[in-house]
Amino acid sequence: MGTPDPLHQVMQTVISGFQQTTALIADVQQQQQTLQQQQQALQQQLQDQARAAYSGMTGSGKSRFVQALVDQETARLGDRGARSRVANTLGLTPPRITQLLDSEKNRKNGK
């Protein structure tokens, strides 16, 4: 009985591999959760900064600021939903965004 059972050795190797894989998966999940929390914190910080900047502006500044944000969103993710994303960021309604954009166009046209 000096030689170990080959089947037992294979099973031990497989079990050890599964344990290591499970530990690595748990590590990756923890890192992913940490990154998601950091991303949410950064998004909230950017949203707060945008709202503060918007609140501190006059009427024409607000129109230009909203226009710039909509242009950025359009360039980044396409035209579809850009206004609603800006509205969500600033805590405004989509009709208010449209109103601000229309007033900016009127200023540009000299109306």
pLDDT of residue 59: 76
What DSSP string runs through 62-90? HHHHHHHHHHHHHHHH-STTHHHHHHHHH
For the segment 67-95, the average pLDDT, to the nearest whole number, is: 90
What would the pLDDT profile of 18-72 be if each residue is shown by its tens digit?
999 999 999 999 999 999 999 999 999 999 999 999 888 887 789 889 999 999 9
Helix, strand, coil percentages in the chain from 3-state DSSP, rounded to 5? 85, 0, 15
Quickly count: other Cβ atoms within 10 Å of residue 97's Cβ.
23
pTM for the model stands at: 0.64
Percentage of residues of the chain with pLDDT beyond 70: 91
pLDDT of amino acid 66: 92
Structure tokens at 60: 């024409």
Domain boundaries, the chain: 58-111
Name residue, tokens 């208010």.
96
